[in-house]
Amino acid sequence: MAVQRYTFGAGKVFATPTNTSAVTPIRLFDVAESSLSIKAKSSKGQGGQVYAVASGRVSEECTGKVKFLRNDPRIAAYLFHGVDLISGQNALADLEQVTLSVATVTVANGAHFLYDGGVINGLNAASFNRITTGTPLAGQYKVDTNGQYTFAAADVTAGVKVAISYHYTIANSGFQYTVSNQEQGMAPYFRLALEKSFNSPSGLITDGYVIYAAQATGMTFGGKQGEFETVEIDWEAVPDALGNIYTRSVNGAAI
């Protein structure tokens, strides 16, 4: 009886950087979709008839995609950009509530202030207009690099409630990476393992691919209201130092 070689689901995916300072394997958790595509192009010898009389393969390509849920920052940093993670993060303080009793107020994280994110009226959600010079009029504000927001005397007199949004730095929590404009041709490689299994009527079936030198060609971060964010990474394979593209390994008999 022939082996009923079926697999089921998206499988398990592991990626290991191979030409950066990071060498720790990364497991892509909560895989929703995975694919591997092998294509070829050929040159045809055409005579006077409608069908080619000969065909010679001139190129092949091995590409694929993985879609998953758990957004590990190492995936973009190490596998796509080839940059290191460093400690610290840029955090958002959103709609910090202040009732104006003085013209100048300092936000709670002013000592680590980074960027202004705007001010809205806490009662009617009208946006305040930011100015860079002069004295603010009603509905206007100024802000300096220390997180000090200055408002109009008229708004202070009226005791207006405002909601301030801004970014600030946290030095001892979280991780971050920065992407810069690199020279052409500079991109990391990684070894990619795609593993699937299924308990078929013939028994446990395992099917795995190891792509020796993959390079990311795209990443998409997508989210919808009411749904979890998904991450997609597209990749293509090139030969490794030994000229190998990939190995497929299966258990059981060949048929």
If pLDDT is split at 50, 70 and 90, which confidence band does 4 have? confident
Tell me the C-alpha distance between 162 and 122, whole Å: 5
31-50 pLDDT tens trace: 999 999 999 999 999 998 99
CA dihedral 19, 10, 2, 202 (to 10 degrees): 110
pLDDT band at 254 (very low <50, low <70, confident <90, very high): low
The more confident residue out of 2 and 121 is 121
Confidence at residue 203, expressed as pLDDT on a 0 to 100 scale: 85
Top-level CATH class of 12-40+59-85+177-250?
mainly beta
| Cβ contacts of 176 within 8 Å, gap of 6 or more | 73, 85, 86, 88, 89, 90
Q: What is the pLDDT of residues 174-192, one digit of tens each?
A: 999 999 998 998 899 999 9
Q: Helical H runs in the chain? A: 73-74, 153-157
Say how far apart CA 41 and CA 60 lie, in whole Å: 6
Residue 255 pLDDT > 70: no
Domain ranges within the chain, ordered by starting residue: 12-40+59-85+177-250, 88-175
pLDDT in tens, 197-219: 998 887 888 999 999 999 999 99
Phi, psi of 73 (to 5 degrees): -60, -20
